[in-house]
Amino acid sequence: MLGYGDWTSTLQARTGLAKKNPPRRIRGARAAGKSELLKQLQARTAPDTVKQLREKGHLKSPQDFTALITALGNVFEWRHALAAFEEMRDRGLQPGVFGYGSLSRAFGRRRQWERALQLLEESKDEITADAALYSSVMKACEEDSDRVLSLFKEMQQGIEPDMQSFGIAISSCCQQQNWQQALGLLLQARDRGLQPNAITVSSVMKSLTPEHWARALLLWQDFGEAELQKDAISFTTAIQACASAKLWRFAVNLLEEMHREDLNPGAIPTSVAISACGQVNEWEVALELFRSVRESREALDAVLYNSAVQSCGEGGKWQAAVRLFEEMKEASLVSEKGFSALITALGKSKKWQKALGALESMEPKNVIGFGSAAFAMSMAKKWPHALALLQGLLATDLQPDTIFYNSAISAAERSGKWKVAVALLEDMKAREAAPDVETYAAIIQACVSKKKWQIGLLLMDDMLVEQLEPDTQTLGLLLSECEQHGASESGILKGLADGKSGARSRKQPVPEAEDLDEEEVYEEEEPRATAAGFKPIPMTSSMNARRVKGRAVPGHTPGQLKPLGDDFRPPAPRRPRSGIRVRAGQPYAKELRLLQRVVEEVPPGDPVAICEAIESFGDEVLVRGKAKLWLKIAGGIKTEVLTRAVRGGPLTCGDLQCSVLEVGAYCGYSSTRMALALPGVHIASLEVDPVHVVIARNVVLHGGLSGTIDVWTGHSKDLLPRIMHRYGGDLKFGAVFMDQKGTRYSEDMMKMESEGLLHPGAVVVADNVLKPGAPLFLYQIMNGGRYHAQIASMDEFAMPSEDWMSINVQRREAPDNETDAPEDLYQLAKETDRMRERAVGPGRSVTYEEWGEFAQEVKNRLAAANVTLTLDLRPESSRQRDDLFGAKSR
């Protein structure tokens, strides 16, 4: 039998009412009484216990009652707890804040929210409620998140919330999928020195949608720093965030950490990590992960197989995908998703017949299977088969969905059938499958590629009616057409400048790793800075085009470049700040910040200062920024090589003035550098990304060079055949700077030659031919005989790594020894594209070491094809620097 001292002190300890330093004797007694009391206070025996306590005179003080109410609440006996509370009052004892708190906790445990609320109201006449009381009332109301949040608000008016009340409020925000508020409260709690527990942090992480992976990872960091107990759920959430961010290494590391912590990752986190690897073409790692799970587990889940099949598909390993599918079949694990993964994998490798075969064997068929097959038809450009699939699908009871139609439309687009694409749009609307951004993007692309750009514009209007916001690529495409046809592009520019619609690519790239810049990540309510904040300037290209066209000789546009002496520096008045904050993680944040830096810190008309500001910005984001972002400009020694090379081109030949062509304007840095090096020479710069176009034009305008540099919107393959016409038909380029994707260099160069764009003796400079590389271009230019070709090695801008530039001077009498490149260089070209994708894609998962290894690989394979360095301009080999332009003068 328990003595009074035993049970009351035990309850006091449980409820936190124990005196801070109880005498030794009582502490021992309390420990002994605790288990006894718990044993007795089962729901079933509660009335007897209460009776005994009463009879033995152990219920005297408010503390006695409070402890009893708490114990009853713990065993979910809210009715007995209420009776005890009333007895306490009947005996004239004041329940006090603890008494009210313990009863409301008892109510909370049984979700008696109305009673809890009523109690809170009653308490206001007697006591000043505290955070614990509010917490227990909030807990009682947990199923009604609005009520919880309004209680939390009410409480904050006079009471400092504790971690428990923060936790309940945060969980309510998560229920409402209001991650912003949840995150805000979590940070408020942390700022007040409160320590959130693992459940609270991981619930906020889970509430974040995939595009907010950076925030999720930041919270994961908090976990680490606060040494909170990470559980399987928080690990899984973090792995999912990594997968969204394409941070496959992180995902794999976390999976390993889960193993080390004995958290026994189940199928879900493992399959997410496998998919994360597959997505970025790391299919070997994905398969390795899959194999390691296969070895360690007796049975594998379908979800693991599906992600492995998918990853094989991404890597073009369709045979491996088929093998895995067969295994899956043997283990009776094939589901609809399994079929879909296999058909998609076959589609990625253009194995359309096999994909149709797989669909044939699928029983029962569903719309996902048909959709995957339509995707395979799109990859193989088999639009009639896609239509046949639609017929097949309609012949069943199934209804085609948006995904199915998108694949069928993409098949039509890839086959150049714009009318079929438009007809499919009509059909899908008639069948109430909602078109989305991807649907319209494919149809507009189909129309534009068949010179039906006006229909493209109508479709864009249609999109707006459907309340869909066109993606950046589509806007860029239409912008380019309007620019070329002299149509008004204001609607499209407005679309681009609009923070909601513009600046998101079709693939919705996730925010950059810069998001991990903590302070900014959390400030969701900041005003959005967008291209609009910088007031996109009107088109200047057509203006220069007209002016150039109106002159007998192209180039030599007067421009607005001030005659600057070497030592000239305009006074630097303090420039008003826009007050606009570019949020980390918003699309194009880095480029918008660059523009902001230029506009706010450099006086107008000072292109030298603009270039310096851009370079120092480049240093800052790479060296000092947390995210170590690389600004992809031809800065540092590359500028020197470029400007000295282009200066040697035939830009002045008797009466003739030639222009300079650049492919890849980006933010206008290298075109500004070239304008400075070649005063009075006209420069045409092509840029495929419309946001980069807007930024580059603003930089050029700010530098006073808009009369000198034209930035044209569009892809080089579309613009090169048009550019001569835009300048009146007799334009020649005396120098070219190619700074687009390395695997396009050969094709673009051939186009320039076939369109007669190059003046004899033209200088062609190509950047990044080692990192990530342009193996086919290098092979052809070094072996073709039509150019004096040099390959120079130098330091990459703001990076401790080597890169090569290719500097070529067209021979006046050009022998053509064109030989086809070795097979391995075609393979290497694919690998360079893959590397580039990884490097510029979200998450940028290429380390310096990997770059170094890859560059060495490129060097070795080029050397095997007899393509080697001819000039070494790295600091340690400066002896060759002066030789740089020897080839050109020969």
Judged by the rule CB under 6 A, the positions of this chain that interact with ligand SAM are 632-634, 663-664, 666, 669-670, 686-689, 692, 715-716, 739-741, 744
Q: Please, which residue, 619 or 883, has the CB nearer to ligand SAM?
A: 619
Instruction: Name which of 58 and 632 has its Cβ closer to ligand SAM.
Output: 632
**Nearest distance, CB of residue 241 and ligand SAM, angstroms:** 27
Distance of CA 871 to the CA centre of its chain: 39
- Shortest Cβ 716–ligand SAM spacing (Å): 4
Nearer to ligand SAM, 324 or 829 (CB): 829
In 315-366, alpha helices (H): 318-330, 336-348, 352-361
Cβ at position 172, least distance to ligand SAM in Å: 44
Angle between helices 46-55 and 78-90 (to 10 degrees): 20
Shortest Å distance, C-beta 719 to ligand SAM: 7
Residue closer to ligand SAM (CB basis): 153 or 507:
507
- Gyration radius of the chain over CA positions: 34
Closer to ligand SAM by CB, 172 or 716: give it.
Answer: 716
Q: How far is the CB of 633 from ligand SAM (least distance, A)?
A: 4
Residue 772: is the preceding peptide bond cis (ω within 30°)? yes
* Closer of 438 and 689 to ligand SAM (Cβ): 689
Give me the sheet containing 758-766, strands edge to edge: 709-713, 683-687, 659-663, 733-738, 758-766, 802-810, 787-795, 871-872
Q: Give how far Cα 211 sits from Cα of 470, 492, 499, 504, Å.
A: 19, 25, 16, 12
For ligand SAM, the closer of residues 470 and 772 by Cβ is 772
Q: Closer to ligand SAM by CB, 186 or 614: give it.
A: 614
The pair phi, psi for residue 315, each rounded to 5°, is -85, 5
Residue 653 or 677 with smaller CB distance to ligand SAM: 677
**Checking DSSP bridges between strand 709-713 and strand 683-687, what pairing results, if any?**
parallel
Q: Which helix (H) or strand (E) holds 488?
A: none
Give the whole-angstrom CA distance, residue 66 versus residue 17: 9
Distance between CA 486 and CA 465 in Å, rounded?
25
In sequence order, the β-bridge partners of residue 683 are 660, 709
Neighbours of 108 (CB within 10 A): 23
Measured from the CB of residue 307, what is the shortest distance to ligand SAM in angstroms? 32
Which residues does 121 contact at the CB level (< 8 Å), separation at least 6? Answer: none
Smallest distance from the beta carbon of 689 to ligand SAM, in angstroms? 4
Residue 872 Cβ, how far from ligand SAM at the closest point, in Å? 22
- Cβ atoms within 10 Å, residue 568: 10
The C-alpha atoms of residue 609 and residue 622 are separated, in whole angstroms, by 20
Minimum CB separation of residue 484 from ligand SAM in Å reads: 14
**Nearest of 482, 509, 486 to residue 494 by alpha carbon:** 482
Of the pair 95, 664, the CB lying nearest ligand SAM is at 664
Contact at 8 Å (CB) between 307 and 275?
A: yes
Q: Which stretches does DSSP call E strand in 19-129? A: none
**Minimum distance, C-beta of residue 454 to ligand SAM, in the bound complex (Å):** 23
Query: At its nearest, how many Å lie between ligand SAM and the CB of residue 492?
Result: 17
Which residue has the CB atom at the shortest distance from ligand SAM? 664
CA separation for the pair 745, 731 (Å, rounded):
21
Nearest-angstrom CA–CA distance, 468 and 461: 10
- The b/e string for 542-554 (b: 16+ C-beta within 10 A; e otherwise) is bebbebbbeeeeb
Beta bridge partners of 758: 733
> Looking at beta carbons only, is 81 or 441 nearer to ligand SAM?
441
